[in-house]
Amino acid sequence: MVSVEFKGQVQVSWRAFRSKEPGYWVAVCDALNLTAQATSWAELFSVCNEIMQELLMDLLRDGELDAFLRAQGWVALKPLPKRASSTIRFDIPISLARERAHAVAN
């Protein structure tokens, strides 16, 4: 397994709330325009991590990861892998904050 770690305070914040549809949790990462849905809090945390991994892996495959990281102000501790592989794991902590209710913007 190849772990890609980053310098400094790299953390991705997600807001989580109960869906209007019974039995679901929804999380939103405003900074990266990502959304996740799951049936439990533990599953939601896992799904958020999976989505982050897929986003970064897609960017690596497309040759856009370096530019994306620079735009976020993130710096990898080691050179980035040259190509995508199932053995790569991006080490980016997430925070998942519960909100009481979700306000829908009109």
Please tell me the class of the 2-96 domain: alpha beta
Mean pLDDT of 42-69: 95
Question: SS3 of 41, please?
Answer: helix
Instruction: Give the separation between CA 49 and CA 47, rounded to whole angstroms.
Output: 5
What percent helix, strand, coil does the chain show, rounded to 5? 25, 30, 45
Cα 55 to its chain centre, rounded Å, is 7
Please determine, for residue 53, whether its predicted confidence score (pLDDT) is greater than 70. yes
Sorted by sequence, the CB contacts under 8 Å of residue 36 that are 6+ apart come out as 14, 26, 27, 44, 47, 48, 51
The pLDDT value recorded for residue 106 is 38
Residue percentage of the chain with pLDDT more than 70: 94
Q: Could you tell me the residue ranges of all domains in the chain?
A: 2-96
Please determine, for residue 67, whether its predicted confidence score (pLDDT) is greater than 90. yes
Instruction: Give the separation between CA 2 and CA 86, rounded to whole angstroms.
Output: 9
